[in-house]
Amino acid sequence: MVDSMNNNKTISDAVDYIYTHGKKYADSKSQRIYLENYTKSLIASLSIGFIKDEKAKSMSQAEAMAYADSSYQIHIKGLQEAVRNEETFRWGLIAAQARVEIWRSEQANARAEIRNTQ
């Protein structure tokens, strides 16, 4: 009986985790997607700036300079953190869903065993 109570608490915790972390996952995913799309804008903006300031003679040179720029390097670190956050939430949700599925299988097996012994 105690084992059953602990198992039910674990399932309850898993469902609570899914409920409370679903929005956090969505927020972290939207942040990652935003940063990925902003990358293109940042590179274009930096490249145009290098052309306007005559620091670059061609667009390919300006683009290379943009990738080496410190603001791009800072941006990439932010993107790295966004991916880390998203993946942490995603795998936490997958693990919680797996716990619920295992519990469901155990419950179905227990019911089948009861039917077979009657």
> pLDDT of 33-84, one tens digit each?
999 999 999 999 999 999 999 999 999 999 999 999 999 999 999 999 999 9
Q: Minimal CA–CA distance to 79: which of 26, 21, 34?
A: 34
pLDDT of the residue at 1: 39
Cβ pair 30, 88 in contact under 8 A: no
pLDDT of the residue at 42: 98
Give the sign of the dihedral formed by CA 43, CA 47, CA 48, CA 52: positive
Cβ pair 62, 43 in contact under 8 A: no
pLDDT of the residue at 10: 87
